[in-house]
Amino acid sequence: MTASLSVNLNAIAMLRNRRDLPWPNVIGLGRIALAAGASGLTVHPRPDERHIRFSDLPAIRALIDDEFPQAEFNIEGYPTAEFLDIVARNEPEQVTLVPDDPAQSTSDHGWDLKQHAGFLAPIVASLKHQAIRVSLFVDADPEAPAAAKALGADRIELYTGPYGGAHDDPRRESVELAKLELTAAAAAKAGIAVNAGHDLTVANLPALVKKVPNLVEVSIGHGLTADALVHGMSGAVERFLDALKV
């Protein structure tokens, strides 16, 4: 089964926010991405709204409901009370919980699930009670999938930043890919589904897909947005979809 593609809109929103103007249009580009074959849209609303704004979320929800009802809305974030309220109001199909500090520029590590089990367990249970699929953002660690499963999560999202960051070092890239492969194999054994995201590109996706045959979904923003500057949003989505078909 080919993994689905969720397009992260944060980089588009960050570009828009450089000016007090409505372009690039986040909703319009989300529409193009879904029309080109993306299976969903992802956002990571941060407290300072430096990219996606809270006011964007109802419009994204409406876009999916009104025009692409088969698509999914994935909201990522650290589970503060404010974040969980945003989730409840916008009813995403999936929530990806990440351990980010609000000051971080982007996600750069996964959860320590043993240390944060007591914190996460009731949050996961509450989200699942709302019929929301829950994914936990984790580093490449074969112990993480079983720990996530024990907390009640439906999926893990593999943090692929170290793999993507090794784009100019084939040896290190191979080492990082092997770590992801081992973690995905542990996920299959634990019976939990696998998502992946961070610094994934048309160039490095095929190798990941080959090593992680149980990959269900990739969430891609920066690399896809960079591609869209050259190929247009529709063309970029098509290129990433092709990269997933190996």
Catalytic residue numbers, as ranges: 44, 76, 198
SS (HEC) of 192-234: CEEEEECCCCCCCHHHHHHHCCCEEEEEECHHHHHHHHHHHHH
In angstroms, the Cα distances linking 40 to 4, 51, 66, 119 are: 8, 18, 14, 28
Within 10 angstroms of residue 241's Cβ, the number of other Cβ atoms is 19
Closest CA to 77 of 185, 157, 177, 170: 157
Within 10 angstroms of residue 81's Cβ, the number of other Cβ atoms is 7
Q: Which helix (H) or strand (E) holds 173?
A: helix 170-190
Output phi, psi for 137, to 5 deg: -80, 120
SS3 53: coil
Instruction: Count how many Cα atoms sit within 13 Å of the Cα of residue 119 in the half-sphere of its side chain.
Output: 14
